[in-house]
Structure 1
Amino acid sequence: MKRSAEVVAFKSILSGFIPSLFIGLFLIGCAHNPDIRMGQDNTSGTTVNNPSSYLGCVQSELPKGAKVYTQQENNALQLFVDSTDPNQATGLVEIKSSGVEHHYSAYQRDAWYDHGRLLDAALMCSRA
């Protein structure tokens, strides 16, 4: 009798553990930080502003305490927010020269958090 009670208890524990294990693994899989350029929060377009002026305008629209980094990569001037690692950055604006017009792309992780402030700045500065 004692043996069957132990088996029932063990099965009960397993029946709660296995779904919890799958849920935990699912959440771990969702918690990775993919390249910001792979997200859904983005905008792009063209501007006649030169790349330095354009990124200066975008930067001026960000909160005063924002950590911003600029770098040149593959014929594009990039402005990163919070980190230069695309897997960790909360924002990225890239601008490439192509004659008179310059093509920009802006990406923001969790844009809902501040109502897309970086994306709005990228669009507004393209028209300024």
Structure 2
Amino acid sequence: MKRSSSVAGAILVSAFATMFMAGCAQNPDVRDGHDYTSGTTQRSAPDYLGCVKGELQGTTTTFEEGTGDSVKLYVDSTDPNKANGLVEVQGSGAQRQFTAYQRDAWYDHGRLLDAALMCSKA
């Protein structure tokens, strides 16, 4: 009996570890995280995103993608599952809505989120 319960325990621990590792291996869409901020800006999308890019480290790679009245600035990858950050600007006229997302914002103290907020006010 003892051998049977230790085998069952080992299988249970192995199954739990496999499920845990599979969950950790996933890299969800950057927009699904907890690190984000949003607001409005009176700046045009190019001016606003130019300001945000200017606040990032010089080695940071960014990509812009636009459709209609929406422009997205991706950090490090255009794939939301791999991007380390994303700033979306929508709208036209005097006010534009923005939302900024940053994966692992603790790593650099939320530099992208801070830039998004600071540039919305400038």
Residue 76 of structure 2 is aligned to residue 82 of structure 1: yes
Distance, in Å, in 2 between the alignment partners of 1:13 and 1:66 is 50
Query: Over residues 25-67 of structure 1, what are the superposed CA-to-partner deviations in whole Å (9 max), with x where a residue is unaligned?
Result: 1221233122111211100000111100100000011111001
What residue ranges of structure 2 are gaps of 5+ in the alignment?
none
Q: Out of 6, 25, 34, which is 1:40 matched to?
A: 34
Q: Out of 59, 83, 108, which is 1:65 matched to?
A: 59
Q: Secondary structure at the match of 2:91?
A: strand
2:69, 2:92 within 8 Å by CA — same for their partners in 1? no
> What is the aligned partner in structure 2 of residue 116 from structure 1?
110
Give the number of equivalent residue pairs. 122
> What is the aligned partner in structure 2 of residue 4 from structure 1?
none
Larger Rg: 1
Q: Out of 6, 10, 17, which is 1:16 matched to?
A: 10
Q: Secondary structure at the match of 1:83?
A: coil
Q: Secondary structure at the match of 2:117?
A: helix
What residue ranges of structure 1 are gaps of 5+ in the alignment?
1-6
Distance, in Å, in 2 between the alignment partners of 1:61 and 1:31 is 31
Q: Identify if the C-alpha distance between structure 1 residues 88 and 78 changes in structure 2 by more than 3 Å, giving closer, same or farther.
A: same
Residue 92 of structure 2 is aligned to residue 98 of structure 1: yes
CA-atom RMSD in angstroms: 1.7
In the TM superposition, what is the alpha-carbon distance from 1:20 to its structure 2 partner?
2.4
Question: Which 4+ residue blocks in structure 1 deviate beyond 2 angstroms?
Answer: 7-18
Q: Secondary structure at the match of 1:80?
A: strand
Q: Secondary structure at the match of 1:92?
A: strand
Distance, in Å, in 1 between the alignment partners of 2:67 and 2:110 is 25
TM-score normalised by the chain length of structure 2 = 0.89
Distance, in Å, in 2 between the alignment partners of 1:75 and 1:99 is 10
Identity of aligned residues (%): 51
Q: Secondary structure at the match of 1:98?
A: coil
Which amino acid in structure 2 is aligned with residue 50 of structure 1? S
